[in-house]
Structure 1
Amino acid sequence: MEVKSKHEKKPESGERLQKVLAQAGVASRRQVEKLIQEGRVKVNGFTVAVLGTKVCAEDEIIVDGVPVKKAEELHYYLLNKPAGVISSARDPRGRATVVDLMKNVPVRVYPVGRLDYDTSGLLIMTNDGELAHRLMHPSYGVNKTYRVWVKGPMEREALEQLRKGVELEDGKTAPAKVISRSGFRQGKPMDHKQHFPEILEVTIHEGKNRQVRRMFESVGYPVVQLERIAYGPLTLDREHFSAGNYRSLTIEEVKRLRLLVGLS
């Protein structure tokens, strides 16, 4: 039977019914197909038993007599988190949170992972739970790059320890990519009696709690300042994007993130 829409639409417009139901959390795609074939799904009052039927956002869908709430439209943002802000939806102590910074977006979005209270930089905010889960899961090995300030100069032995992996109380870290961005690694003379800010870039793919800070503490160089400057294919442009600001991710950026973790 042909499904009649509440609104006129081209026959090929809209999304496949089974995809819409799966995205709304009714059941898995395979289970949804079975529900449709068994005649348990109605669209605008008509029973639909043909797979591939397309529906629009305005169409009313009912499964086993229960109206289906459509999946929320997905939103993706890049936030330049300031230091002194909590990476969570709420804080019992009443401190500012990253969600507070996103009050003007049309939907509720949540941080992908965390940045410490005192750490600034790139934070992805989204309501795409599946993407967020995969980006944070260690099995996908998504790289995260940090700019690290310590009191230097750092001994080469300490740098090599970081590159090989260091022992922490919750296990040894994977080898990290560590690059010095200071003049101390460019052949300039060093006075070991003095301490200067040394700037490094560290790339890791794990997500242990306060990992970068603990790595540097373990080799004798506590972090003075920490900023995340890259997450997977995304990078932070501080010159044109100050702390506390956010922007929508482009379609291409979202596509690259999803492909990175095996999502089409």
Structure 2
Amino acid sequence: MRLDRYLANLQYGTRREVKQLIKANRVTVDGKKERDGSAAVPLGALVAVDGMPVGRDLQVYYLMNKPHGVVTATSDAKARTVLDLVAPADLRPGLYPVGRLDKDTTGLLLLTNDGALGHALLAPKRHVPKTYLVTLASPLTATMQAQLEAGIAFQEFVSAPAAVKVRPDTAGCEIELTIHEGKFHQVKRMLKAVGNSVTALGRIAMGPLQLPPDLAEGTYRPLTAAELASLAAVNEERISK
């Protein structure tokens, strides 16, 4: 990759601004000053600006705890989006949220610019499980649970059998619901179909990823090595099929 594009991708400015930075003798590659923006950056090279290494990964994976009231989108003319919560230094070209959470839904959201991985997690044939913590308006009955676990027939699709776990000491008003699709308002529609309603909703797991209990709403962090390895296994499984 060209040096000017490399630095622009790392948010050091526009291509024009980066070229000026390079021409000002402020950039080194492997300890040597480089004034040519078209120079190739060798794989594994140490690039520095003003003596500070900038060798951050161009491909990124962030785990976010999406807050209430924020839109899951890359841009929106009126509302704040999840990308608005990302620090400028952490932005990358092509960064996007994998999947969608409603504006009033909180919880686990993966942000990446790895399109192949995003496809592996979202492809309908993959049936990647998604688990939600659901607060209900009224206690879940045995009949409601049986209906959810059997699958709900909607006009345009039939949901796969869901896994339901009632959280203890919640009088049946908090459940963990695992589904394998991701249709529009699906969880809310499923609970409405069995005669209940959702008062609060948060995603706590997606595939091998779990929402860390210490990740505050509105914050994010890079995936750990173990989390990346678990996602790599998902992607490998997609390729092998």
The answer to whether TM tops 0.5 is yes
* TM-score between the two structures when normalised by the length of structure 2: 0.72
- Aligned with 1:168: secondary structure? coil
- Aligned with 2:215: secondary structure? coil
Aligned counterpart, 1:198: 173
Letter in 1 for 2:187: V
Aligned counterpart, 2:59: 74
Q: 1:56 aligns with which of 20, 34, 43?
A: 43
Q: Counterparts in 2 of 1:110-121, with a 5 A limit?
A: 110-121=96-107
1:172, distance to aligned residue in structure 2 (A): 0.9
Aligned counterpart, 1:217: 192
Q: Counterparts in 2 of 1:1-264, with a 5 A limit?
A: 56=43, 73-92=58-77, 94-104=78-88, 105-108=90-93, 109-183=95-169, 198-238=173-213, 240-262=214-236
Say if 1:151 and 1:197, in contact at 8 Å, map to a contact too: no
Say if 1:145 and 1:230, in contact at 8 Å, map to a contact too: yes
Work out the CA distance in 1 between the residues paired with 2:235 and 2:192.
Answer: 31
Letter in 1 for 2:230: R
1:262, distance to aligned residue in structure 2 (A): 2.1
Letter in 2 for 1:84: G
The Cα offsets for residues 200-235 of structure 1, whole Å up to 9 and x where unpaired, read as 001111121111111001111111000000111111
- Once superposed, what is the RMSD of the aligned Cα atoms? 2.2
The Cα offsets for residues 118-157 of structure 1, whole Å up to 9 and x where unpaired, read as 1000000000011001101111121111000002222211
* TM-score between the two structures when normalised by the length of structure 1: 0.66
- Aligned with 2:148: secondary structure? helix
Work out the CA distance in 1 between the residues paired with 2:103 and 2:166.
Answer: 25
1:236, distance to aligned residue in structure 2 (A): 1.1
Letter in 1 for 2:153: E
Unaligned regions of 5+ residues in structure 2, if any?
A: 1-38, 46-56
Work out the CA distance in 2 between the residues paired with 1:83 and 1:106.
Answer: 22
Are the structure 2 counterparts of residues 74 and 169 from structure 1 closer, same or farther at C-alpha, using a change threshold of 3 Å? same
- Aligned with 1:152: secondary structure? coil
Work out the CA distance in 2 between the residues paired with 1:115 and 1:209.
Answer: 9
- Aligned with 1:230: secondary structure? strand
- Aligned with 2:149: secondary structure? helix
Say if 2:209 and 2:227, in contact at 8 Å, map to a contact too: yes
Say if 2:70 and 2:104, in contact at 8 Å, map to a contact too: yes
Say if 1:80 and 1:246, in contact at 8 Å, map to a contact too: yes
- Aligned with 2:204: secondary structure? strand
Say if 1:85 and 1:96, in contact at 8 Å, map to a contact too: yes
- Aligned with 1:99: secondary structure? helix
1:106, distance to aligned residue in structure 2 (A): 4.1
Work out the CA distance in 2 between the residues paired with 1:176 and 1:56.
Answer: 46
